[in-house]
């Protein structure tokens, strides 16, 4: 409903006028996309880690001695890289979920305050 102030009408605030609404909308979208794309992203980052490690190994002086002098298991190295990236991804998801929670609280507190004013 519109209120009249002098000769001007003040329109009722719309949900999309709130910056909290947009933070809430984008954080929700981001969280959903992160959960959907997460496994592929983790696997890709682990592969890139392995590739970079292989390049570093091939460029080092130790490869002149031969592969038999190298220690380490490539399978366990791959699992370590994948676990490391999974932990980092969980931190990203936690941050996005926290952002979503803060935006949700801010949005609904703001809506409640506007409802009380009317």
Q: pLDDT tens across 70-118, in order?
A: 555 667 777 888 899 999 999 999 999 999 999 999 999 998 888 887 6
Whether 59 is covered by a domain: the verdict is yes
Domain range spanning residue 33?
A: 19-64+75-117
Q: What is the C-alpha to C-alpha distance for residues 63 and 57, in angstroms, rounded to an integer?
A: 7
Model pTM score: 0.69
**Main-chain dihedrals φ then ψ at residue 56, nearest 5 degrees:** -60, -40
Asked, for residue 33, whether it belongs to a domain, the answer is: yes
Count the domains in the chain. Answer: 1
Q: Which residues pair with 9 in a beta bridge?
A: 4
Nearest to 20 by CA among 117, 99, 116: 99
Q: Is residue 3 part of a domain?
A: no
For residue 69, is it within any domain?
no
């Amino acid at each position: 409903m519109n209120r009249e102030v002098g000769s001007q009408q003040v329109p009722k605030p719309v949900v999309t006028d709130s910056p909290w609404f947009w933070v809430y909308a984008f954080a929700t979208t981001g969280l959903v996309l992160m959960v959907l794309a997460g496994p592929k992203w983790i696997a890709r980052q682990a592969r890139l880690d392995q590739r970079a490690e292989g390049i570093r190994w091939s460029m080092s002086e130790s490869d002149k001695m031969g592969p038999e002098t190298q220690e380490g298991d490539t399978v366990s190295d791959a699992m370590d890289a994948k676990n490391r990236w999974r932990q980092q991804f969980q931190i990203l998801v936690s941050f996005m979920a926290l952002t979503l929670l803060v935006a949700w609280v801010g949005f609904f507190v703001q809506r409640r305050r506007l409802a009380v004013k009317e």
